[in-house]
Structure formats: C-alpha cells, structure tokens
Amino acid sequence: MFPAGFVWGVGTSAPQIEGGVDLDGRGPSIWDAFAETGAVRAGDTPAIATDHRRRFAEDVGLLGALGVDAYRFSIAWPRVQPTGVDGVSHSGLDFYRALVDELLAHDIEPVATLYHWDLPVALEQTGGWPSRDTALRFGEHAAIMAEALGDRVRRWGTVNEPWCASMLGYAAGVHAPGRREPSAAVAAAHHLLLGHGLAVDALRAAVPDAEVSITLNPYPVVAAGPTDDDRDAARRVDGLANRLWYDAVLEGHYPDDVLDDLRAVSDLAHVRDGDLAQIARPLDALGINYYRRYHVRHRPGASATGPAAQWPGSPDVELVTPEAPLTDGGWAIEPGGLTEALVAVTREHRPPPLYVHEAGAAFEDPVDAGSGRVEDTRRVTWLADHLSAAAAAIEQGVDLRGFFVWSLLDNFEWAEGYAHQFGLVHVDRTTLQRTPKASARWYAEVVARNALVEPG
Ligand code: FCB
C-alpha cells in the first residue's frame, strides 16, 4: 500500500502533444524551428503531434478512465504570448481555462508546468536563455498565467528539467535551439534557474495557496572504470547533472568544484549579486524525473565537440551503456536508481515533499490487428519495478507524496520524433486514434487500489 492521500497521476507536455499550431495566433517555438531544419529523426515535426489542442476533451476522458488524481501538463508559452512578450492571446488562455475546467469536471487535479522547453522563437532571436532578459520575460509570463488560472490551479511547476533545456539545447545542440556554445549553455542554466525563482515569486503573489515546485532530473552517477580519472569523470557529471541544480535551488549556492570546472569555458559574469537568493526561494514541493542512471568513464576528448558535448568544461567524459536490459529507446532499465535518487536528495538536503513527476519507458508495441489490443507487457513490468523502487524509498524515510507516469499518450519525443513511444495510450500516427494499452488498464487498477499490482 502507498500512504493515504498519495497522488497518482500521469504527465504530458504541450510541445509533445498539442499540435494546433494554426490556432490561437500561436507563435512558433524553438522546437518548431528546430524541426524545420530537419534536425529531428525522420524529419518529424511537432506541428500535429497528437492533435491534443483540438482533442483535449477526449484526452481528459482517457484520464477519467484511468481514474488518476492529478494530471501534469505544460503551458505553451507561444500559445499564450506568441512572441514571448506583451501581446497575450486570449484564445490561448481560454484553451488552458477550458482544459482545466474539463479536468476539474472529472475530479482530476491540474498540475501546470510553466516551461517544458518550447521557448517562443522571438525570444531565441533576442538571445534565448543565455540572455538574462529571457528570465525576466519568463517571470512576466508566470504572472500572466498565475493571474489567468490561479482561481482554478493550485499546483504549479516552474521549469521542467533545466539541465536538458540548457545542456542539450545550447551545449550539445541535440535539442532546440540546436546551439553548440558551451559558455552560452552555462549562462542558459543560470537564467533558467533565475526564471524559476522569478516565477516562484509571481505565483505566490497571485495564488496565495499555490503549491509551487520545480522539476529536476537527477541521475545517480556511477563511475564505469577503476581509475582516479574515471572517478573524476563521475564527479564532473554528478556536479553538472545533479549537484549544480540541487545546491542552487535548495541551498542558494553553486558547488565550488562545479564552478571550477565551468571556468574552463565561462567567466561566470552572468551570475549577479542576489541571483542565488532569488533562485533559492522556498518551495512547497520538488519534482523528480527518473529514467536511468549515468555510467561514466574518462576518455580524452570524448565530450569535446559534437552531440556528446553536453558537459561544458568537461571535454573528457563518456557515458557508457551498462550490462542491463534496455528499453526500445536504448536506455538501461535500472529501477534501483530511482530509490537512490529519492534517498540521496532526502539525506543530502532537506527538500520539500517529493513527487516523481516523470517515470516511464519507451517500448514500441503495435495494435494487434485481430484483437485491437496493445499488449505492452514490458511497460507494465517497467512501471511495476519502478513503483516498487518508489515504495522502497518511502520505507527508507523519503517523503514521497505522488507518482506521475510518463506519459498519457504516445507523443513527439523531441529529437527522436515519433519513434519512441512512452504512452499508456497508443496514438495511431495516421488516424491519431487513441487506444489504451494493457499498461493503462494495469495502472487504473494501481490507482484504484492505492497499491502496487503485480504484473501478469
Ligand atoms: C524527459 C522529458 C519528457 C520526456 C521524457 C522521456 O526528459 O522531460 O518530456 O520526453 O524525458
């Protein structure tokens, strides 16, 4: 059994499901622009995605059938403010009001994330996240959303996975906006955090009973070699992937060793007096996303340039795939890492209550032509093992309040396009027809019983 009141949910994000780029006067996002350059696998784009902007009522019906307590979704900044500044789209705001009303009508609590990576192109053109101005604009955007939805949304998230948004987007260039500029990535990281802190204040000002969180993706890091250099590679990756974010958000400082590593590529002049106090505003909840561990070794030049250059200032680290079963997305299946991540943040910091904001796996299972069913038994096993790992963390004293499966629908999986399918619900790429998978039926039972249900 999970604790009474445990929040069961599922999650999505706007750029991965909404489509509807022709509605609401929506402006282009950096993901639209990135996909137009052909940078996404198979030339896929988020233009249609799952067409959720039009089909949201049907999708809330799917949530109702799951019986979940809560639904984590994100707000597309360019749908609400097409250029990221001023000029609000009332039709865009009305869409999110209608979505939230539909959720509330089904007794499902909305959990709204303000930034899940779809920066308005106009703001990228004026510098993007490496520019301090973007953080200030994000604070204004948060105020607009808090004003518009604060009467009906109590649970808010600021930024989703700022590590990905900064390092994959501006250092490795494998995510939008596709820049490979290490010093810009370091500034982007800081400004995403600053934007988070400004958003916390904006939410508190407009929504007095708000429960405010940020969503981070800590990866337990394992040295995949025996040498001191391998251990140092692991320290560097742990610093950039985990400690940088935790220390800034929960303690109000950056770790000294990480700053030393970063000085190889940045003068850090973007960090101004008072910023860290703004970044470390008290939170009511912390979202943890978990998919796998990082296994890291030292290899000269491995992360110096190109798509592996996601560790600014650390050109000699390499991620290796461990001996373990893999998902169809190629990520090792390591449920124990979820327990480790939850226990580590609890022991090393005094975090607010924790939520698993995302956990899930890419497995491609077709709709069976005869039965019309999708038997995604590997996903059921993956989820059951990770729920056990979450329960183990609770037994070890972690204050875990909820679990959100990633994701409701098969959707636009960033640079992988539609190739990696994370949904509890299958979405046909031609007809966009939704078919709940076996995992959806299994999860509905978990939710109803507030307890792990053994697979099979
Ligand atoms: C996370 C993202 C989420 C989804 C999963 C698979 O990094 O937050 O949008 O793509 O990975």
Nearest to 290 by CA among 368, 388, 391, 358: 358
Instruction: State CA 156 to chain mean position distance.
Output: 14
| DSSP output for 128-191 | -TTSHHHHHHHHHHHHHHHHHHTTT--EEEEEE-HHIIIIIIIIS-SSTT----HHHHHHHHHH
Q: Is the CB of 358 under 6 A from ligand 1?
A: yes
Q: Is the CB of 362 under 6 A from ligand 1?
A: no
* C-alpha 247 – ligand 1 centre gap (Å): 22
* C-alpha 198 – ligand 1 centre gap (Å): 24
pLDDT of 169 reads 99
Model confidence pLDDT, tens digit, residues 47-64: 999 999 999 999 999 999
Q: Is the CB of 246 under 6 A from ligand 1?
A: no
Taking the CA of residue 329 as reference, the ligand 1 atom at the shortest distance is 6
Mean per-residue pLDDT for 194-200?
Answer: 99
Q: Is the CB of 406 under 6 A from ligand 1?
A: yes
Whole-number Å distance between alpha carbons of 142 and 286: 18
Q: How confident is the model at residue 86 (pLDDT cuts 50, 70, 90)?
A: confident
Cis peptide before 177 (omega within 30 of 0): yes
pLDDT of 302 reads 98
* C-alpha 26 – ligand 1 centre gap (Å): 23
pLDDT of 417 reads 98
Specify the residue with its C-alpha closest to ligand 1, atom 4: 413
Average pLDDT, the chain: 98
Distances (CA, A) of 403 to 97, 283, 384, 450: 24, 18, 12, 11
Q: Is the CB of 160 under 6 A from ligand 1?
A: yes
Mean per-residue pLDDT for 253-274?
Answer: 98
Whole-number Å distance between alpha carbons of 437 and 10: 14
Model confidence pLDDT, tens digit, residues 227-244: 999 999 999 999 999 999
Q: Is pLDDT above 90 for 432? A: yes
| Terminal-to-terminal C-alpha distance of the chain | 19
Specify the residue with its C-alpha closest to ligand 1, atom 9: 13
Model confidence pLDDT, tens digit, residues 277-301: 999 999 999 999 999 999 999 999 9
Q: Is pLDDT above 90 for 1? A: no
3-state SS, residue 37: coil
Mean per-residue pLDDT for 86-101?
Answer: 97
Q: Is the CB of 422 under 6 A from ligand 1?
A: yes
Q: Is the CB of 161 under 6 A from ligand 1?
A: yes
Q: Is the CB of 414 under 6 A from ligand 1?
A: yes
User: Count of CB atoms within 10 A of residue 151's CB?
Assistant: 12
Q: Which H, E and C letters describe 313-355, residue by residue?
A: CCCCEEECCCCCCECCCCCECCCHHHHHHHHHHHHHCCCCCEE
Model confidence pLDDT, tens digit, residues 3-58: 999 999 999 999 999 999 999 999 999 999 999 999 999 999 999 999 999 999 99
Whole-number Å distance between alpha carbons of 405 and 334: 16
> Is 51:19 a contact under the CB 8 Å cutoff?
yes
pLDDT of 112 reads 99
Task: State both tokens at 312.
Answer: 């600014």
Taking the CA of residue 422 as reference, the ligand 1 atom at the shortest distance is 6
Model confidence pLDDT, tens digit, residues 331-382: 999 999 999 999 999 999 999 999 999 999 999 999 999 999 999 999 999 9
pLDDT of 449 reads 98
Model confidence pLDDT, tens digit, residues 243-258: 999 999 999 999 999 9
Q: How confident is the model at residue 434 (pLDDT cuts 50, 70, 90)?
A: very high
State which of 288, 414, 421, 424 you would mutate to test the pocket of ligand 1, scoring each by most atoms of that ligand within 8 A of its C-beta. 414
Q: Which of 211, 318, 340, 358 is catalytic?
A: 358
pLDDT of 456 reads 81
* C-alpha 59 – ligand 1 centre gap (Å): 19
Active site residue 358: yes
Active site residue 161: yes
* C-alpha 290 – ligand 1 centre gap (Å): 9
* C-alpha 289 – ligand 1 centre gap (Å): 8
% of the chain residues with pLDDT over 70: 100
> Is 258:243 a contact under the CB 8 Å cutoff?
yes
* C-alpha 29 – ligand 1 centre gap (Å): 17
Q: Which of 161, 211, 318, 340 is catalytic?
A: 161
Q: How confident is the model at residue 310 (pLDDT cuts 50, 70, 90)?
A: very high
Task: State both tokens at 336.
Answer: 């124990």
Q: What angle do CA 427, 430, 434 make, to 5 degrees?
A: 25
Distances (CA, A) of 61 to 56, 85, 133, 425, 434: 9, 34, 40, 12, 11
